[in-house]
């Protein structure tokens, strides 16, 4: 069976750097930090009092009040950023696609976290009297974001959710990619969203000792590959990507950003939160993505790393990159855009995939900001694109995402020729 070519025809984003793709990209290439004091709740008694929050998001500017009240914030982010991507792809035009051949695969690691907390607290305050919202369950389940997107646009193709912690959004993209290249859909709306900047989110990750506690200077707290890194910064938002069969896109005259050419998945099989110390799972997943794309490592110019700014994770991923790319690792540009956006958990792969797509389109590598101190455990000859964006022709870009539980996923994008 001959596999279909898959191209990218639309993008949408809501991020700590801005609430559309243009603002997000401007923030990335200008090295803007999205971190600041938490405004969503009183964080005074928490070990971490800052996060990368979405700013200035008013759901009433995008959705009808009746509809938005039935959605947790993570689903609101999903619907709004997918609306941008669908419009960007020209799919709102009559007859642009057969709705029976358009699907939605969406990722979220946690789903309706704030709704769950609110309902649990209300039950606790009610002295055990069960008064729950009729929308409680539909608002918390992770798959509901894909459901809302499909219902809003009438898409009747494949529709489900991927849940693999921080790899969720990337797993969603891989599944969407495979549905198209196997000929089971013409167009897929894919990506991920998360809204975990809550008391439970911050408190839970603090209990794991996973978050930075640099409360005196939050804008520089996310500092991948810096020797003083002390944990990740929690972020929120969403990213949407329209994947499309090449022939279908050409037939309707769609604008093509680039081509998606491969995806890989692996497991660390090591620890519930820590990476394999030698980066074995990370090495395997990058090799799997390259094999899937039938590409040689030397064809890749940019790796958007998982790069969470954790002491163990950054070292393990760097070892894996050197294991996969060998001497070509020194010709790569490597960067962690989490230094600016924080870690969006299940949405990380979606917005970082967009960063790779735009790096290819615009010939610019986003930087890894906040670097000050070299880490002797990392090879200083590698180009981590510290502190300033770099112009470069990007033929192909690889995006890595690794989740708690040892879930690893990588995707490859290539310039469209």
Q: How many helices and strands, by DSSP H and E, does the chain display?
A: 13, 14
7, 38, 72, 324 from 117: Cα distances, Å: 39, 17, 11, 42
**What radius of gyration do the chain's Cα atoms show?**
20
Same domain assignment for residues 227 and 102: yes
Same domain assignment for residues 170 and 199: yes
Could you tell me the mean pLDDT of each successive run of 10 residues in the chain, 417 residues long?
Answer: 95 98 98 98 98 97 93 98 98 96 98 95 87 94 98 98 98 98 98 98 98 98 98 98 98 98 97 93 98 98 98 96 98 98 98 98 98 96 98 98 97 97
Which two tokens mark 275?
Answer: 């990476």
Same domain assignment for residues 277 and 240: no
Where do the H-state alpha helices sit in 71-215?
73-88, 113-125, 136-140, 144-153, 168-181, 199-207
d(CA 262, CA 57): 34
Which run of H or of E encompasses 10? strand 6-14
Same domain assignment for residues 41 and 147: yes
Same domain assignment for residues 197 and 306: no
d(CA 17, CA 23): 7
What's phi and psi for 17, nearest 5 deg? Answer: -100, -5
Mapped to the 3 state alphabet, what secondary structure does 77-109 carry?
HHHHHHHHHHHHCCCCCCCCCCHHHEEEEEECC
Residue 257 in domain = no
Give 397's contacts (C-beta < 8 A, 6+ positions apart).
Answer: 300, 301, 302, 303, 304, 356, 357, 359, 360, 412, 413
Residue 41 in domain = yes
Residue 38 in domain = yes
Query: Which of 223, 251, 279 is the endpoint of a domain?
Result: 251
Residue 377 in domain = yes
d(CA 13, CA 83): 10
Residues noted as catalytic: 166, 306, 343
Beta bridge partners of 105: 160, 190
Report yes or no on whether pTM surpasses 0.75: yes
Place of tokens 């670097």: 371
Q: Report the pLDDT value the prediction gives residue 126, as an integer from 0 to 100.
A: 86
Domain span including residue 342: 263-414
113-125 and 199-207 helices cross at what angle (nearest 10)?
A: 100
Same domain assignment for residues 321 and 235: no
Q: Report the pLDDT value the prediction gives residue 104, as an integer from 0 to 100.
A: 98
CATH number for position 389: 3.40.47.10
First to last CA, the chain: 23
Which two tokens mark 145?
Answer: 């974001």
Which two tokens mark 209?
Answer: 């000792």
Q: Report the pLDDT value the prediction gives residue 128, as an integer from 0 to 100.
A: 81
Same domain assignment for residues 233 and 277: no
Q: Which of 83, 70, 65 is nearest to 149 (CA)?
A: 83
Same domain assignment for residues 229 and 145: yes
What's phi and psi for 325, nearest 5 deg? Answer: -95, -15
Same domain assignment for residues 407 and 274: yes
Same domain assignment for residues 145 and 224: yes
Q: Which of 126, 102, 90, 305 is nearest to 190 (CA)?
A: 102
Same domain assignment for residues 346 and 315: yes
Contact 124, 190 (CB under 8 A): no
Residue 222 in domain = yes
| Strands (E) located in 224-257 | 237-245
Same domain assignment for residues 218 and 323: no
Residue 391 in domain = yes
| Number of domains observed in the structure of the chain | 2
């Amino acid at each position: 069976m001959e596999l279909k070519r898959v191209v990218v025809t639309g993008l949408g984003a809501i991020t700590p750097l801005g609430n559309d793709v243009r603002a997000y990209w401007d923030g990335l290439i200008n090295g803007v930090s999205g971190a600041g004091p938490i405004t969503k709740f009183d964080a005074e008694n928490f070990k971490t009092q800052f996060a990368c929050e979405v700013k200035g998001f008013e759901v009433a500017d995008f959705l009808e009040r009746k509809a938005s009240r039935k959605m947790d914030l993570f689903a609101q982010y999903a619907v709004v950023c997918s609306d941008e991507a669908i419009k960007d792809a020209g799919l709102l035009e009559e007859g642009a696609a057969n709705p029976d051949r358009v699907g939605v695969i969406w990722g979220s690691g946690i789903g309706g976290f704030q709704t769950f907390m609110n309902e649990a607290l209300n039950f606790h305050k009610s002295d055990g009297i069960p008064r729950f919202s009729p929308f409680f369950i539909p608002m918390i389940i992770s798959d509901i974001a894909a459901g809302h997107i499909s219902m809003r646009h009438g898409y009747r193709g494949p529709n489900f959710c991927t849940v693999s912690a921080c790899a969720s959004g990337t797993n969603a993209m891989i599944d969407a990619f495979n549905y198209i290249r196997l000929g089971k859909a013409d167009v897929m709306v894919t990506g991920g969203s998360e809204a975990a900047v809550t008391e439970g989110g911050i408190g839970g990750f603090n209990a794991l000792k996973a978050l930075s506690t640099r409360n005196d200077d939050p804008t520089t707290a996310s500092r991948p590959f810096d020797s003083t890194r002390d944990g990740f910064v929690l972020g929120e938002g969403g990213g949407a990507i329209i994947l499309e069969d090449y022939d279908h896109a050409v037939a309707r005259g769609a604008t093509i950003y680039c081509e998606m050419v491969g995806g890989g998945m692996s497991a660390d099989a090591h620890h519930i939160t820590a990476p394999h110390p030698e980066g074995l799972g990370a090495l395997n997943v990058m090799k799997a993505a390259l094999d899937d794309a039938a590409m040689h490592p030397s064809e890749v110019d940019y790796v958007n790393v998982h790069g969470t700014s954790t002491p163990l994770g950054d070292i393990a991923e760097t070892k894996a990159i050197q294991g996969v790319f060998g001497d070509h690792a020194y010709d790569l540009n490597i960067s962690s855009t989490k230094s600016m956006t924080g870690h969006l958990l299940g949405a990380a792969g979606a917005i970082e995939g967009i960063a790779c797509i735009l790096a290819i389109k615009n010939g610019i590598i986003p930087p890894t900001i906040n670097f000050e101190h070299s880490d002797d455990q990392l090879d200083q000859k590698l180009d981590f694109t510290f502190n300033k964006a770099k112009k470069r022709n990007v033929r192909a870009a690889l995006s890595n995402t690794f989740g708690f539980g040892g879930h690893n996923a990588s995707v490859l994008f290539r310039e469209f020729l």
